[in-house]
Amino acid sequence: MQQLPLSIDLTGRRAVLIGSSAAAAAKARLLLGAGATVMWIPDRSGDQPFQSLSDAHATTAPFDAAALTPDVIRRSLHDAVLFVIATSRRDEDERISALLRADGRIVNVVDRPDLSTVTFPAIVDRGSVTVGISTGGASPLLAQRIRRVIEGILPNGIGRVADLASEFRQTVASHVSDSVERRRFWNRIIDGPVAAKAQAGQLAEARQDMIAALNTFEFDHSAAGGRVDIVGAGPGDPDLLTLKAHRLLSQADVILYDRLAGPGVLGLARRDAELIDVGKAPGDHRMGQKGINALMVARAQSGQRVVRLKGGDPNTFGRGGEELEYLRDHGIDATVVPGITSAAGCAAAAGFPLTHRDHASQVVFVTGHAKDGGAETDWSGLATGERTIVVYMGLARVRDIVSRLVSAGMSPFTPAAIVDRGTWADQRIFRGVLSDLPLMVDQETIQGPALLVIGSVTTLADAPQWRSHLQQTAS
């Protein structure tokens, strides 16, 4: 984050607008719309586009921009909270900005972020709800494009929900003193029919339902008990999260996350959420499964909303079923939110399908890490036939996996690939043959999370051929 976004209450406060350009006129409308008292200081361009400045909340200074000096700024503009500069001359913009910045003032120079201490975002205006999109002045066009996307998904009536919340904020605080329970109450209101009615303009009904919800809450605090949502983070790219996963991350009090959850995903959590790393890597189990289970139960029993965040899909080699069973056995309200499994995400990122009429009529997901004392994967049953084999958690046993498949009859020249950190910003894709896989892991220092993919679909990958035995044989 290069700049900190802030919301300034300008109601009844003085903002100074310097310049007579069309850009200055646009800023005048924005400042007046925010409730500011605008003082306009014209320049000498002769362009006078300010019909709106006859407004009671706008005045014209008795001097022009050329008269601005440090003494004038301190004497006549001492109470101004914001200065906006949009003259018709670059050198004048630079001179006035330097004067104001030297005096410690908050300054925006239109289209000159290098001369500004603040920049104006693109704004989505929904009454009491405003959304600002800023690129720090780098690309106003990009900010406007993002604004149009948000305008398309943000309901017009969302400001009425904020007005209702403001109306009842102190009442809720006095009735629900515990901060965790209070947050849960507001989540229930915002996600439920009260907010829906307010958004639709049914304000009287929304107020009645709000009062009823408060009365019910007073006599049923146990209903505000904690819960656990076991959430699939997908393969790592936060854009691949489901909408439900996104919402639960933004509501969670505490998030227990794996190392397989991409770093961008955690950025969607609430600022005040507690983030606990419970990730396990080969040889590094900082918290075993028993400890994770006990922690989930303890936090939920204390009334917190817990998200157990797992890479990929929780029910595909993610132990989601085991954790759900444990939570239910201990009386904890819990659900599983599926995620895009890593096989699907990584294949798409690498540019090859998992099935293809000319290459594979089946796809098989297997794990390279069996449960202690559990049954070993039947590699012999996978060695023949037109199928794609995706191996999760296979790096540590890659030599053994290759050896078992070759011993069972699979050609060592079967096309294969490794997708390292698939969908992450630093993903790497290596395409070769089955017998290359151990060398790839060693020579390319693949540390994961990574998938082994075996089958001819990998020849369609958007990656060059690795230094494979096929090429050596051909030469």
**Residue pLDDT, tens place only, 216-234:** 875 444 445 688 999 999 9
**Is the CATH number 3.40.1010.10 carried by domain 227-340?**
yes
**172-179: average pLDDT:** 87
What pLDDT score does 283 carry?
56
Q: Is the pLDDT of residue 51 over 60?
A: no
**92-105: average pLDDT:** 95
- Using a pLDDT cut of 70, give the percent of the chain over it: 91
Q: Do domains 14-120 and 343-474 have the same CATH topology?
A: no
What pLDDT score does 438 carry?
94
Active site annotation includes 258? yes
- Using a pLDDT cut of 90, give the percent of the chain over it: 58
**295-315: average pLDDT:** 92
* pLDDT one-digit tens code per residue, 374-430: 567 888 888 888 899 999 989 989 999 999 999 999 999 999 999 999 999 889 999
pLDDT band for position 281 (cuts 50, 70, 90): low
Could you tell me the residue ranges of all domains in the chain? 14-120, 158-224, 227-340, 343-474
pLDDT band for position 474 (cuts 50, 70, 90): very low
Least confident of 182-186, 199-203, 314-318: 182-186
What is the spatial distance between Cα 173 and Cα 186, in angstroms, rounded to a whole number? 11
What pLDDT score does 371 carry?
63
**Pick the catalytic residue: 47, 55, 280, 400?**
280
Interstrand relation of 254-257 and 274-277 (parallel, antiparallel or unpaired):
parallel
**342-350: average pLDDT:** 94
pTM across the whole model: 0.67
What is the spatial distance between Cα 58 and Cα 228, in angstroms, rounded to a whole number? 54
What is the spatial distance between Cα 292 and Cα 254, in angstroms, rounded to a whole number? 13
Q: Is the pLDDT of residue 158 over 80?
A: yes
Instruction: Supply the CATH classification number for the domain 14-120.
Output: 3.40.50.720
**What mean pLDDT value characterizes the chain?**
88
- What CATH superfamily classification does 343-474 receive? Tetrapyrrole methylase, C-terminal domain (3.30.950.10)
**Pick the catalytic residue: 93, 237, 258, 420?**
258
Structure tokens at 171: 């009442």
pLDDT band for position 145 (cuts 50, 70, 90): very high
What pLDDT score does 152 carry?
85
Structure tokens at 123: 């704004």
Active site annotation includes 280? yes
CA atoms within 13 A on the CB side of 421: 13
Q: Would you put residue 103 in left (φ > 0), alpha (ψ -120 to 50) or beta?
A: alpha
Alpha-carbon distances, residue 274 vs 269, 271, 281, 282, 415 (angstroms): 9, 9, 22, 25, 44
Scan for tokens 């157990």, then name that residue.
308
Interstrand relation of 122-126 and 107-109 (parallel, antiparallel or unpaired):
unpaired
Q: Is the pLDDT of residue 132 over 50?
A: yes
